[in-house]
């Protein structure tokens, strides 16, 4: 190779083609020897068809559940339509004295208004039979947690019931690990098998509770209302919920 004084090449000056074409030395990979006491890797388990059999069982379970829930919900839909209508009218009566209540499911889901909030019709595409819980909650200052609620549940015998309760806050307490908690209490207003629900009985209970609730707001204190619930109706569940201060 000719040498150029200005070149930056620093390799060998007399490399030959024979050197350039020399085969590389073969290096054998080292065999990894497990340390003493290290368990040998286990071979894969034999295929016992677990996945496909599990899919088959889950599919059967889903079909059974679908068949079970495929019951006639016509009666439930009629109950729910009546409850939603009644509770929305209660909402409007409280609004007239500037007491704000909220309904769930929201009125925007089940109603079409021509003049809000008094002139409206039910939406044709709303599935009333699919509603499992209906509630009217008090949003007035000092009344947070006061809620009228109806929901469907299944007994251990597999029978569907409708239960109505009124829930209120009995005060707040501070817990070291969970912070401020509201102490909630309930009175059981109504409980009957779904196929034995009578609107007249529901109306009797609603009239009593709503009048007392309304009167308590006029008196600006819930004490008499809570005392009425405790005296007239069976005690329901008590529990603590986060206060969100």
Mean pLDDT of 148-159: 96
Predicted local confidence at residue 245, as pLDDT:
55
With a cut of 60, say whether residue 23 has pLDDT above it. Answer: no
Q: Which of 42-51, 53-62, 185-194, 227-236 has the lowest mean pLDDT?
A: 42-51
With a cut of 60, say whether residue 11 has pLDDT above it. Answer: no
Please write the tens of the pLDDT for every residue from 56-77.
Answer: 888 888 776 655 555 678 999 9
58 falls within a domain: no
201 falls within a domain: yes
Predicted local confidence at residue 10, as pLDDT:
54
With a cut of 90, say whether residue 126 has pLDDT above it. Answer: yes
69 falls within a domain: no
- With CA atoms as reference, report the closest residue to 136 among 126, 145, 147, 125: 147
Tell me, rounded to whole angstroms, the distance of Cα 20 from its chain centroid. 74
Give the domain extent around 114.
74-242
What H or E segment, with its residue span, contains residue 166? strand 160-175
- With CA atoms as reference, report the closest residue to 205 among 221, 191, 185: 191
Please, which residues bridge with residue 238 across strands?
185
- With CA atoms as reference, report the closest residue to 152 among 143, 144, 162: 162
Predicted local confidence at residue 33, as pLDDT:
61
With a cut of 90, say whether residue 197 has pLDDT above it. Answer: yes
3-state secondary structure string across 195-245: HHCCHHHHHHHHHHHHHHHHHHHHHCCCHHHHHHHHHHCCEEEEEEEECCC
156 falls within a domain: yes
Predicted local confidence at residue 182, as pLDDT:
78
Q: Which of 108-112, 173-177, 196-200 has the lowest mean pLDDT?
A: 173-177
With a cut of 60, say whether residue 230 has pLDDT above it. Answer: yes
Tell me, rounded to whole angstroms, the distance of Cα 77 from its chain centroid. 22
187 falls within a domain: yes
Q: pLDDT band at 186, cuts 50/70/90?
A: very high
31 falls within a domain: no
What pTM was estimated for this model as a whole?
A: 0.70
65 falls within a domain: no
Q: Is 119 left (phi over 0), alpha (psi -120 to 50) or beta?
A: beta
Predicted local confidence at residue 155, as pLDDT:
95
Reply yes or no: is the peptide bond before residue 117 cis, omega within 30 of 0.
yes
Mean pLDDT of 194-220: 96
Predicted local confidence at residue 223, as pLDDT:
95
Q: CA-CA distance, 101 to 143, in Å (whole number)? A: 10
In the predicted model, what is the mean pLDDT of the chain?
A: 84
Number of domains in the chain: 1
CA atoms within 13 A on the CB side of 21: 3
Sequence length of the chain is 245
């Amino acid at each position: 190779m000719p040498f150029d004084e200005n070149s930056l090449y620093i390799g060998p000056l007399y490399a030959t083609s024979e050197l350039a074409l020399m085969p590389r030395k073969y290096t054998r990979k080292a065999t990894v020897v497990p340390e003493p006491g290290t368990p040998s890797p286990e071979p894969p388990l034999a295929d016992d068809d677990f996945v496909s059999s599990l899919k088959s069982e889950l599919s059967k379970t889903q079909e059974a559940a679908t068949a079970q829930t495929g019951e006639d919900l016509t009666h439930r839909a009629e109950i729910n339509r009546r409850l939603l209508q009644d509770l929305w009218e209660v909402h409007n009566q409280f609004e007239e004295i500037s007491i704000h209540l909220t309904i769930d499911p929201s009125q925007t889901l089940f109603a079409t208004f021509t003049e809000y909030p008094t002139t409206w019709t039910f939406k044709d595409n709303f599935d009333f039979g699919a509603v499992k819980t209906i509630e009217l909650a008090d949003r007035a200052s000092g009344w947070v947690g006061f809620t009228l609620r109806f929901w469907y549940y299944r007994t251990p015998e597999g029978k569907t019931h409708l239960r109505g309760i009124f829930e209120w806050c009995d005060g707040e307490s501070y817990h070291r690990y969970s912070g401020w908690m509201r102490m909630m209490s309930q009175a059981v207003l109504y409980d009957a098998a779904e196929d034995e629900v009578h609107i007249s009985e529901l109306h009797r209970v609603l009239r009593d509770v709503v009048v007392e609730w309304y009167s308590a707001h006029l008196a600006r204190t819930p004490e008499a209302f809570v005392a009425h619930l405790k005296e007239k109706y069976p005690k329901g569940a008590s529990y603590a919920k986060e206060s969100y201060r």
